[in-house]
Structure 1
Amino acid sequence: MNGLLEHLRAGLPPEALITDPDVTASYAHDMASFCDAGTPAVVVLPRTVEQVQHVMRTATALRVPVVPQGARTGLSGAANASDGCIVLSLVKMDRILEISPVDRIAVVEPGVINAVLSRAVDEHGLYYPPDPSSWEMCTIGGNIGTASGGLCCVKYGVTAEYVLGLEVVLADGRLLTTGRRTAKGVAGYDLTRLFVGSEGSLGIVVKAVLALKPRPPRQLVLAAEFPRAATACDAICRIMERGHTPSLLELMDRTTVQAVNRMAGMGLPDTTEALLLAAFDTPDPSADLAAVAELCTAAGATEVVPAEDAAESEMLLQARRMSLTALETVKSATMIDDVCVPRSKLGAMLEGTAAVAEKYGLTIGVCAHAGDGNTHPVVCFDHTDADESRRARESFDEIMALGLELGGTITGEHGVGVLKKEWLARELGEVSVELHRGIKQAFDPLGLLNPGKVF
């Protein structure tokens, strides 16, 4: 420990090092349940690329593992510390370095908060679409590490589609530049995409070049109530089949709606079995919402209510954004699943999840990015009850198995981390796992970067 601190202090200012065990313990884990976390030896908060390089050179010389972190809003344990590690928190590297309306790019450090970037580019008439529900807290570096999505994915896509280039500090301290600033470019292998979603296991992102879009018109939202989740999923299929491109298409089941109402008094219709939110940011959103309203009614909606203005639309979106937080109030703990299935299988996924809840005698609320089939079943349980905790874990696994059976994936945007390591091989297959491990070996031969995660 003394040798490690001595080496770190040689290239870092005193304020960049945290050794107080009571403080370092607060950096030990992210927001996931059922994920082991170790005790870090030290927490480092660098402000420059050179400081990150010094940390990695030190780690390589002393063979000390390094766990990169952002705001620790992740839900898979990917940011959890390992015993004796250096926790490398990038939150102090939070500068927006450039916004170019001509090139439609932003250059940022990894600690920039998603919502801060969104508001900054909005002042230039631009738009950074990826918007996870934790956008007021989560960092761009964390978004890149987990390849996060958000509410707007159905129209605008996910984080990976907006990362043009990166600067990455490798395990041995070398600085790698990937990608480009140009609108297109195909020189070499796409190493940029390789780092997106790698969960800090291949290198430390210290700068990102992000693509921007022109700011769209203000969106209007429609809320549709359904007597069954299956009829809501039928409406979703009709909307997509008819060629509509909503800027948002989100689903909340009855458990979720009731939890939001209890927490925030939003006045949502908590007697409905499923609430569908559809939004359009087109030049004439009212016409698009009217067309979608007809499809919802035809599918069996009991009531369809379009928002009258932007304020009412924002209220509905806020209700959806607080869904996961509200479900956390149902019991003392939650396990948040992240299973994505083909849109055509969304109804089967929700019905199967309800059957799992009944089988295990648990409350499982579901909110979903319905437009891209990404469901978030939230298993609510009492963590002090050993039997209930066991049933929660078993139900979580059964939901993941259901997703794979329906042709889906175990994670659409939250990542693998610690929580889903055992399931990754089942999805990828033997050949793919072998190649993944070969890539990890090439970038991190000593296995120092975020050990015990993903593989």
Structure 2
Amino acid sequence: MTPQHRVRLPDGEFSTDPDVIAAHRLDRSGWLPKGLPAGVAFAASVADVQALLRHAQSAATPVVVRGAGTGLSGGAAATDGSIVLDLSRMNRIREISAEDQLAVAEPGVITADLDRAAAARGLRYAPDPASAAISTIGGNIATNAGGLRCAKYGVTRDSVLGLDVVLADGEMISTGRRTVKGVAGYDLTSLFVGSEGTLGVVVAATLKLRPLPAATATLAAYFDDITSAAAAVTAITAAGLQPAVAELLDSATLAAIEEAFGPAVNETSSGGAGAIAGAFLLVQTDGSAAEAEAEQIYQVLLRHATSVSRADGAAEAERLLEVRRRALPALERRGRVLIEDVAVPRTRLAEAVAEIQEISRTFAVPVFTMAHAADGNLHPIIVVDRDRELDQDVWAAADAIFTMALRLGGTLTGEHGIGVLKRRWLVDELGERNLALQRQLRSVFDPGGILNPGKAV
């Protein structure tokens, strides 16, 4: 970027330092874009975002919005010649209202920090992605992130009441409201949630908070194989029970966690000391009836699992939750990861798990499977050597996984977004006419095509 095109920000900073650019080039997806971004804009205010977008539009320069860079589909990876708009410095929690049970937060707020701040007022921010300790509210909104508690509380969209958004021409609009109900006009708030930075830049969000649960109860179940564990989850749903958390890990993922972090859950598995369970299922209930619901789920699990145990107190429950959160970091230590995010109807979960195992064998590609099991959201993760290209067998395995999900009545992505990695399959899910309408809609908000080009739709 030549000096005359350097962007001046009222409150922030613009950098063309090669080290800064290199640090902002990739997200967590494993996708390697060609070329390098031209610079990084560190926005500290709404005025900075507006100035950057006005410059980008006049210069026809692509803009890639970035929070913490924890995206898993390539949506935040920077394309050649683009400007990265880093929102991590816009990290204020502007308001927490215990009376209205809402918060107003800037996009750079870390998800877990908002949850802790809400907890100090007797409330909780329900969305709980496994990356909550490092991901940002803006990134969660961009991908409509789910998380561990989504079985009961839904995904990010279910907790967003309103947004302040800077459009591609630099103008800011506000969508939604602070009230619980409201149906005036089209629901632009929901449209922006999950749009992956292609329609505008979220600079503030009004978010729904919920009361902290009166109690929680946590169960750990072990199985001979992941298919049995998936069948157990289906049985829980069939019994009319709704846990807040139901997280599933296969034996390969458990082995990776143990290799990276030491023994975690397997000291209590039926195989004895040092044995790796065929699958591990973590279930948590919450609310005033938590213990009663947990007992009912316990009885269901006994019919499927090799062993079931109750967590002894909050510390033990948190340790088990931490096992789940460590799954992806453990796999990232093994090599380059290609993270899939398919979802299927809950009644087809066991079938999907069995097919993923067969796909792994057929293409001789290692696939590690974890899941937000209670809502059918599977994360089959392909791990390859860091210096290995994503060759024909890898893409064939990915194609087979996506095709399987759609055939079972599911979707390409439950919470990570389309980004770059899944774009080639999007028409298979949406159809030609649907996809064309979505691209027309995108052009209404961004006629110059500067916002995250080549991503999502």
Instruction: Give the TM-score range, shorter chain.
Output: over 0.9
Give the whole-Å Cα distance in 2 for the aligned partners of 1:218 and 1:59: 50
Q: CA deviation at 1:259?
A: 1.1
Give the whole-Å Cα distance in 1 for the aligned partners of 2:109 and 2:305: 41
Match of residue 40, structure 1, among 37, 57, 68: 37
Does residue 379 of structure 2 align to residue 376 of structure 1? yes
SS, match of residue 305 in structure 2 = coil
Match of residue 421, structure 1, among 408, 420, 423: 423
Indicate conservation of the 8 Å contact 1:4/1:62, yes or no.
no
Give the whole-Å Cα distance in 1 for the aligned partners of 2:307 and 2:348: 24
| Deviations 1:385-441, CA, capped at 9 Å, x for gaps | 45x743222212211111111111000000011111101111100111111011111
Match of residue 90, structure 1, among 87, 95, 100: 87
SS, match of residue 253 in structure 2 = helix
SS, match of residue 333 in structure 2 = coil
SS, match of residue 30 in structure 2 = coil
Indicate conservation of the 8 Å contact 2:225/2:250, yes or no.
no
Equivalence for 1:119: 116
Using the TM superposition, name which of 338-347 and 377-386 deviates more.
377-386
Equivalence for 1:274: 279
Equivalence for 2:309: 305
Equivalence for 1:319: 323
Does residue 346 of structure 2 align to residue 348 of structure 1? no
Matching residue's letter, 1:39? L
Equivalence for 1:407: 409
Does residue 223 of structure 2 align to residue 226 of structure 1? yes
Give the whole-Å Cα distance in 1 for the aligned partners of 2:447 and 2:97: 38
Equivalence for 1:22: 19
SS, match of residue 433 in structure 2 = helix
Equivalence for 1:235: 232
Give the whole-Å Cα distance in 2 for the aligned partners of 1:448 and 1:384: 32
Indicate conservation of the 8 Å contact 2:216/2:291, yes or no.
no
Indicate conservation of the 8 Å contact 1:35/1:76, yes or no.
no
Indicate conservation of the 8 Å contact 1:38/1:80, yes or no.
no
Does residue 66 of structure 2 align to residue 63 of structure 1? no
Superposition TM-score, scaled by structure 2 size: 0.95
Does residue 393 of structure 2 align to residue 391 of structure 1? yes
Using the TM superposition, name which of 255-264 and 195-204 deviates more.
255-264
Map of 1:121-140 to 2, 5 A cutoff?
A: 121-140=118-137
Match of residue 440, structure 1, among 435, 439, 442: 442
Given the superposition, is the C-alpha separation of residues 16 and 288 from structure 1 closer, same or farther in structure 2, using an over 3 Å criterion? Answer: same
Equivalence for 2:452: 450
| Deviations 1:202-255, CA, capped at 9 Å, x for gaps | 000001000111111342211111112222122111111111121101111111
Superposition TM-score, scaled by structure 1 size: 0.96
| Deviations 1:53-111, CA, capped at 9 Å, x for gaps | 11111111111111111100001110111221111010000000000011111001100
SS, match of residue 234 in structure 1 = helix
Does residue 10 of structure 2 align to residue 12 of structure 1? yes
| Deviations 1:329-368, CA, capped at 9 Å, x for gaps | 33x2111110100010001111000001111223211110
Q: For structure 2, which runs of at least 5 residues remain unmatched after alignment?
A: 267-274
Matching residue's letter, 1:292? I
Indicate conservation of the 8 Å contact 2:199/2:451, yes or no.
yes
Does residue 73 of structure 2 align to residue 76 of structure 1? yes
Q: Percent identity?
A: 45
Give the whole-Å Cα distance in 2 for the aligned partners of 1:325 and 1:72: 14
Q: For structure 1, which runs of at least 5 residues remain unmatched after alignment?
A: none
Give the whole-Å Cα distance in 1 for the aligned partners of 2:338 and 2:42: 29
Indicate conservation of the 8 Å contact 2:31/2:77, yes or no.
no
| Deviations 1:116-159, CA, capped at 9 Å, x for gaps | 00000100001101011110110000000000000000011100
SS, match of residue 340 in structure 1 = coil
Equivalence for 1:285: 290
